[in-house]
Structure 1
Amino acid sequence: MSEATTTTASNAASSAPKAAARTTGATIELENLTKRYPGSSEPAVDSVNMEIKAGELVIFVGPSGCGKSTTLKMINRLIEPTSGRIRIDGEDVTDMDPVKLRRKIGYAIQSSGLFPHMTVAQNIALVPKMIGWPTAKIKDRVEEMLDLVGLDPGEFRGRYPRQLSGGQQQRVGVARALAADPPVLLMDEPFGAVDPITRDHLQDELIRLQHELHKTIVFVTHDFDEAIKLGDRIAVLRERSHIAQFDTPEAILTNPADDFVSGFVGAGAALKRLNLTRVRDVEVRDYPTVTVDDPLQEIFNKLRDGTTSELLLLDKRGRPYKWLRRGDLMRARGSLARAGTLVHDTVTRDATLRDALEAVLTESAGRVAVTGRRGEYTGVVDMETLMNSVHELLEQDRLDAIEHQHDLQDQRAEQTHRAQEGEGAGYGEDAS
């Protein structure tokens, strides 16, 4: 993966003291929150009541036009509520100066929203500068935030947004939103404008960041698979932001509240549950590797004498580059330039098993390389491991269905028994 990915254990350990010093998340309470636009017969958002826990990642998902983005924007009052209250950590912010409020809440949107005339460093420094941080502290924070989102400060701080890929722009957008260390981060379809592979990696990056920072994140999406992958809880919204179900991803997948929610879950709930398990939760195996700096004869000997018919070739930075097979080296003619098959995709330890399964299917090797924060190789996950996980989920679904059927039978038997007792009591009364 050319854009940086997730963290290694050593990087995570080295950043732990900084992470521990950061502000954690804040509770958010919405009380009868309503938005009514002039001239409209119905409110756009109608009396939403919700409590979001500190450090929780909550997803708003629903059909287009249901009011999910409007509800999100009322939290930082980019859209002013018509009525109702907003409390953050118990403080009523409904009547606070909205500009001051927004400086305390991170905000990330689709297509990053970076200012094109500012460098990456200037974009990230924007809010800390506005609230009066000293220059030295701002400079350190910019370096820290770039490293946090997996971008090399030396390489990226002086670039302009036009010099970045879409995924890199989104990373900078998240860094800017977090720069002033807000307890709350609002994200309005932030990954909707990038390609699917980059989107998967950005989702993994957000999961990693949340593990480190424990912010309160409210995230809007129309993609239910994204909601399952990211959310601690999901709010499935009907028209006017009426809450159809507000629960954990697993609870919604296994027990949708009604047909409307079932429509969002769709077919293949068991496979969707692969989004609930991370690569870090299954066995990540080591695999024979060589590097582009190794002598060709040494690589040939390792392939010839090894227990596998394939090696993973790493580039100069230790990142997965090519899959090499024995026959490839016979055609190499003293060079690795034309040998092997390029690695098309990788996953991180924060990726879901569904991501891993899709990646394995795109790779011809029957396995996918697992990478760290800078894209460095850390191991592989193979098809056998993934299929075992799929079979376990399907078996659990089968057992759950049997248990549910038994519960229904017990309920019917109990209802029948009560009805019969009632009839018997009635006959006794008539006889007397």
Structure 2
Amino acid sequence: MPETTATTSDGGTAAGASSRRGTTGATIELENLTKRYPGSAQPAVDNVSMEIGAGETVVFVGPSGCGKSTTLKMINRLIEPSGGRIRINGEDVTDMDPVKLRRQVGYAIQSSGLFPHLTVAQNIALVPRMVGWSKARIRARVEEMLDLVGLDPGEFHGRYPRGLSGGQQQRVGVARALAADPPVLLMDEPFGAVDPITRDHLQDELIRLQHELHKTIVFVTHDFDEAIKVGDRIAVLREQSHIAQFDTPEAILTNPADDFVSGFVGAGAALKRLNLTRVRDVEITDYPTVTIDDPLQDIFDRLRSAGGNEILLLDKRGRPYKWLRRGDLMRAKGSLARAGALVHDTVTRDATLRDALEAVLTDNAGRVAVTGRRGEYTGVVDMETLMNSVHELLEADRLDALEHQHDLAETRSGRTHTEQEGFTGTGGANA
């Protein structure tokens, strides 16, 4: 069977690009992109121009109805532009066959959009099958994609969407969007329909995937905190997708362009900057652990040798299960079934410090377990570490504010001095 041709990051093509090597991201250029609907006095999207770098995650954020989803859908021409050009890796795709274009651009939407009558494997295999991949290659790619998004291929391969949780459906949706190894991934509020905890974990998963894959991602959300967390750059959009500010999250937080952007930033900019630092950037400490299969006496001995008052119980897969205190063990009476407190919240290394802080405060015990891609225990982050990071951010903001005030004062002083010189010079001429 013929192999698909994938666009490479240097603008060329590679027949049957190896899934191990993968196709990296592509540049995207929007030039005067416009959408007018019949009968509307104003365009829905008006002359939008921007450049997105290969491997970059760019987030569109703005009020409802501002045209951010319309702009996104014009990139793969789910909505046809009324005017302007779209270039991917320098190639003008405005006149390309739209079906061919969509097969080269991954697309993930809210509520996953999975076909309910197809299994997980069949959903993921859709585009590779359409572009002519061999059965063996499709089979290998499905397993690779499930593993990539943290789902056990043996467990999920033959299941149907109705048997999955909302978070699992979204993971499969992302796997399907990436299955044919596209250089570009478009995501239209992909995590908007799941609960907040699942949403945080899906955001972490996307960040981890992007570290591995380096795709070009264009992501639409109405949640500014989500934009800060996942975006390399954020485009804050006004009505008709007019760009109010297009910059890094840190630049927007510390120097919003105007009152409109400031409204999106909202109060507590310093705390929002906790979304810019990842758990992997701070100290992750080890913690005494035991497994659910360990004899009770061994657990007692481990807790005694650790010298603390608490130990973390792991399940048979090495995942955090319960926090056990010394008193819990005393009351266990030979069984751990009712002993200890269940671990409700965990974070990954790609979680933000804000996620970790919220988990610590929710648990009210001063620490949160850190897990790997399959939920396995890797360490702990404690409240002291998080608070030190908060204090460092607040101090940095205080110093930045002082420096900004100093620069303003110098600017005003220089302006006044110039005006005085001008006045004196004019007076001398008149004299």
Q: Classify the TM-score, shorter chain.
A: over 0.9
In 2, Cα distance between the equivalents of 1:306 and 1:150? Answer: 32
| Partners of 2:302 and 2:105 in 1: CA distance | 54
TM-aligned CA deviation for residue 298 of structure 1: 1.5
Superposed CA offset, 1:246-292 (max 9, x none): 00000000000000000000000000000000000000000111111
Question: In the alignment, which residue of structure 2 is the partner of 1:57?
Answer: 57
Partner of 1:121: 121
Deviates more, 1:359-368 or 1:196-205: 359-368
Contact kept, 8 Å, 1:107 with 1:187, in 2: the verdict is yes
CA contact (8 A) 1:30 1:85 kept: yes
Q: 2:290 matched to which residue of 1?
A: 290
Comparing 302-311 with 164-173, greater Cα deviation is found at: 302-311
The 3-state SS of whatever aligns with 1:38 is coil
The yes-or-no answer on 1:332 pairing with 2:332 is: yes
- Kindly report which structure 2 residues correspond to 1:352-391, keeping only aligned pairs within 5 A, or say none: 352-391=352-391
Alignment partner of 1:320 is 2:320: yes
Partner of 1:201: 201
**Unaligned runs of at least 5 residues, structure 1:** 1-16
Contact 1:283 1:381 in 2 (8 A): yes
> Is the 1:19–1:212 contact (alpha carbons within 8 Å) kept by the matching residues of 2?
no
In structure 2, what residue type is equivalent to 1:286?
D
- What is the letter of the counterpart of residue 341 of structure 2? T
The amino acid across from 2:48 in the alignment is V
| Alpha-carbon shift at residue 334 of structure 1 (Å) | 0.7
Q: CA–CA distance in 2 between the matches of 1:388 and 1:154?
A: 43
Separation in 2 of the partners of 1:370 and 1:53? 32
Equivalent residue for 1:160?
Answer: 160
Please report how far the alpha carbon of residue 18 of structure 1 lies from its aligned counterpart in structure 2 after TM superposition.
7.1
- C-alpha contact (below 8 Å) 1:60/1:237 kept by paired residues: yes
Cα distance in structure 2, aligned partners of 1:420 and 1:273: 42
RMSD value over aligned CA atoms? Answer: 1.0
Q: How far apart are residue 19 of structure 1 and its match?
A: 6.7
Determine the structure 1 residue equivalent to 2:47. 47
Counterpart residue identity of residue 427, structure 1: G
Match of 1:9 in 2: none
Give 1:253's aligned residue.
253
Aligned to 1:13: none
Query: Counterpart of 1:109 in structure 2: which amino acid?
Result: I
Task: Name the CA distance, whole Å, in 1 between partners of 2:352 and 2:31.
Answer: 34
Consecutive aligned runs of 4 or more in structure 1 exceeding 3 Å deviation: 17-20
Read off the aligned partner of 2:418 and give its amino acid letter. Answer: R
Q: How far apart, in 1, do the equivalents of 2:208 and 2:50 lie? A: 26
Considering Cα pairs closer than 8 Å and 6+ residues apart, tell me whether 1 or 2 has the greater RCO: 1
Residues 103-252 of structure 1: pairs in structure 2 closer than 5 A: 103-252=103-252
Are 1:309 and 2:309 matched, yes or no?
A: yes
The 8 Å contact of residues 19 and 141 in structure 2, kept in 1 or not, is answered as no
Q: Amino acid of the residue matched to residue 285 of structure 1?
A: T
Distance in 2, Cα, partners of 1:329 & 1:172: 40
Query: Given the superposition, is the C-alpha separation of residues 235 and 115 from structure 1 closer, same or farther in structure 2, using an over 3 Å criterion?
Result: same
TM-score w.r.t. length of structure 1: 0.95
For 1:402, the aligned partner's letter is: L
Q: Quick check: 361-370 or 390-399, which moved more?
A: 361-370
Amino acid of the structure 2 residue aligned with 1:392: E
Tell whether the 8 Å contact from 2:288 to 2:303 is kept in structure 1 after alignment.
Answer: no
Instruction: Provide closer, same or farther for how the CA distance between residues 18 and 279 of structure 1 changes in structure 2, counting only shifts above 3 A.
Output: farther
1:271 corresponding residue in structure 2: 271
Contact 1:344 1:362 in 2 (8 A): no
Tell me by how many angstroms 1:299 deviates: 1.0
Say which SS state the counterpart of residue 168 (structure 1) adopts: helix
Aligned AA for 2:311? L
**1:107-152, CA deviations, whole angstroms, 9 ceiling, x for partnerless residues?**
0000000000000000000000000111110000001000000000
> Does the 8 Å contact 2:64/2:222 carry over to 1?
yes
- Aligned-pair distance for 1:308? 1.0
Over the matched positions of the two proteins, sequence identity in percent amounts to 85
Deviation at 1:305, TM superposition (A): 4.0
Secondary structure, counterpart of 1:85 in structure 2: strand
Q: Secondary structure at the match of 2:386?
A: helix
Instruction: Give the distance between the partners of 2:301 and 2:27, measured in 1 at CA.
Output: 59
Would the aligned equivalents of 2:71 and 2:241 in 1 still touch at CA under 8 Å?
A: yes
TM-score (norm: length of structure 2): 0.95
Number of matched residues? 415
Task: Tell me how far 1:430 sits from its aligned partner.
Answer: 1.8
